[in-house]
Amino acid sequence: MSGSTYHERRQILERHAVLGKLSPGEIDTLLRYSRVERYPEHEEIFAKGSPGTSMMLVLAGSVRISSISFSGKEIVFNIINAGELVGEVAVFDGGPRSGDAVAMTDCELLVLNRRDLMPCLERHADICLELIKILCERLRRTSEQVEDLVFRHVESRIAKALLQLSVRFGGQQIDGKMLELHLSQTELSTIVGSTRESVNKQLSEWEKKGIVARRKELVIVRDATALERLI
């Protein structure tokens, strides 16, 4: 996996909706004290309960945030794409990680230590507010996920997840076009809180109806309108 250059990392920070509010000098300081970490697909980035001493900016790849029960059942809270932040809770309270982070694909992360970030944040109330907005958005998403698990049938949860993930990962709007989603059935089952068998059964039914198609770890949404009707 080829890594980014210092210049490329600086450009990413400058264009970032939150961190781009820092002054050029502050961005240089952060880059000087930051480090780049690379993780191959499926490798653990950090574990739930581990010390939260840093926040990470995803430079490339996707990260899955989840939690695993003692019985081995996993539930996915969020999927973080390139350009988004991981571990921002630790910036505010310095407490332990609230979930497990695993590389869904080969990932490159810019690690920003809390001790280096805090002086910048203390001078920028606007950045703190933006980070709080991110936290609120993710909290709303988690609350919605809990409601879906309690009130929605598995068919509806799968349809909703496919549509939401297609928009985020497919790079296309839902307007009747065929949308591709690189996601295994096991990963999809952890996102919707169901078993792989149930997800496979549902996808098989939809495949017969021409709503979706499958190619190894690729789910192709052929009829987004049909899925919308199931939500």
- Asked if the model's pLDDT at residue 179 lies above 70, the reply is no
- Burial of 152: CB neighbours in 10 Å, binned 0-12, 13-18, 19+: middle
Any idea which residue has 């996920």 for tokens?
145
Question: What local confidence, expressed as pLDDT, does residue 90 receive?
Answer: 81
Calculate mean pLDDT across residues 175-192: 74
pLDDT level of residue 173 (50, 70, 90 thresholds): very low
Q: At how many degrees (to 10) do helices 196-208 and 154-170 cross?
A: 80
Residues 29 and 36: their CA atoms lie apart, in Å, by: 15
Nearest to 99, CA basis, from 140, 51, 66, 142: 66
174 to 10, 138, 155, 180, 228: CA distances (angstroms): 33, 23, 19, 11, 10
Residue 183 above 80 pLDDT? Answer: no
DSSP letter for 96, please.
Answer: B
Q: How confident is the model at residue 144 (pLDDT cuts 50, 70, 90)?
A: confident
Closest CA to 117 of 16, 27, 5, 192: 27
Average pLDDT over residues 184-207: 88
User: Could you tell me the two tokens for 124?
Assistant: 């920028």
For residue 72, pLDDT beyond 90: no
- The answer to whether the beta carbons of residues 182 and 169 sit under 8 Å apart is yes
